[in-house]
Amino acid sequence: MARLEKLYKQVDNIKEQYFIRNRIAEENRQKENEAAVRIQSWFRGCQVRAFLSHLHKNATLIQKIWRGFTARALFRQRVKTAYFIMKMNFYNKMAVKIQQRWRGYYVRKYVHNYYARKRYLEGLTRKNEHIRRDLEEFAELQRRERERITLEKEEKEKNIQAQRLHFLLSTKQCPGVFNSPFRAEPDEMELRLRKVKPLLVRSAPKERKTPYITPDLSNLMQNWERLPPIHKKPQGPFRPALDVQQQRHRPLEPSLRVATSITALEEAREELKQQEWRTCVIDQTFLPFSNTSRNKRYEGMMHTSTPFEQVAYGTKHFREEHKEYLKGKKPFKTVFTTCHIFDKFGRLYSNAGNIV
């Protein structure tokens, strides 16, 4: 009771303190509210900045992984292209060597065979010698024949001359011109006169009517300059009848536009297709090294292959929930394969393709 009475005495004081503290709280409520809002905004800003930094780091990591993956794929492709070019250059060089050897053998065997050509030249030399001897003998025979004909002609001329000079033959009473008494023996003509018979006297031949010959005025007109012809070819009525007939009945010569068919382009294309089809050996194009990437496993990256990282999305739940649907289906095909061929570069073959 004493305590309750004491408390009743202090009610006024308590009310006064309550109102004083309530007024002070009302006065500081706005400041405290602004302070709380500032603290909350600062904390939320720190949270957002931390989250954005985390997102930036993850985006950078994704970009780095993707750029590394594309760079490795591009590098593998370039390595494959360089290795393919090197192999094709090597194959081309070897093909050129094979063609060179074969063409040399073919030319030496069938086109320019050395031993066959040697035998041919030897036979040709023997034949030439034989023909040369025959030609020399034939030339000697021709020379002898010409000499015989010349001698016969001279003998005939001498006989005719002797027949004409038969009146100069010497007699018993009077020696002739060719039988001089001062010579030891008579002349050759004297002996010929004794053998031949005199030439019979014939009546003079009648004069033949010779045709009129136009005088040659070329010597008289040497100093005159001849005028050039008016036309290279005769014109008008002076042309030959055969030329006029050919000109009248010559065939039509149409222009290129008229002579070309309207379907010439389609016919040419069809002919080109037929020619390509005839010359084509196989329908499928040749793709060297097309089976090199078969049955090759994908080489994973370090970020996804280590056990300390998160499992890739879609590899844990989606393909293992319904395994009965996956039976008999082919596995996924990888886009990029490992380039094991380039690992042998420099160890098995050099740049020229020779074995090291």
Q: Which residue, among 82, 102, 112, has the nearest Cα to 345 in the 3D structure?
A: 82
Phi-psi region of 346 (alpha: psi -120 to 50; beta: other; left: phi over 0): left
Tokens of 134: 């025959």
Q: Digits of tens for pLDDT over the chain (356 positions)?
A: 678 777 777 888 888 888 888 888 888 888 889 999 999 999 999 999 999 999 999 999 999 999 999 999 999 999 999 999 999 999 999 999 999 999 988 888 887 777 878 888 899 999 999 999 999 999 999 999 999 999 999 999 988 888 888 888 888 788 888 888 888 888 888 888 888 888 775 554 555 555 545 545 455 455 555 666 665 666 666 778 888 888 888 887 777 777 777 888 888 888 888 887 777 655 555 555 555 556 656 555 555 555 555 555 555 545 555 667 667 777 655 554 555 555 555 555 444 445 44
Tokens of 122: 């030897």
Q: How many CB atoms lie within 10 A of CB 162?
A: 24
The residues near 194 (Cβ < 8 Å, ≥ 6 apart) are 169
Tokens of 128: 């030439």
Cα 159 from Cα 195, distance rounded (Å): 9
Tokens of 93: 């060089």
Cα 150 from Cα 64, distance rounded (Å): 116
Q: Quick one: pLDDT at residue 283?
A: 54
Q: Quick one: pLDDT at residue 120?
A: 85
pTM for this entry: 0.28
Cα 139 from Cα 101, distance rounded (Å): 51
Any idea which residue has 């844990």 for tokens? 316
- SS3 (DSSP) at 51: helix
Point out which residues pair with 355 in neighbouring strands.
349
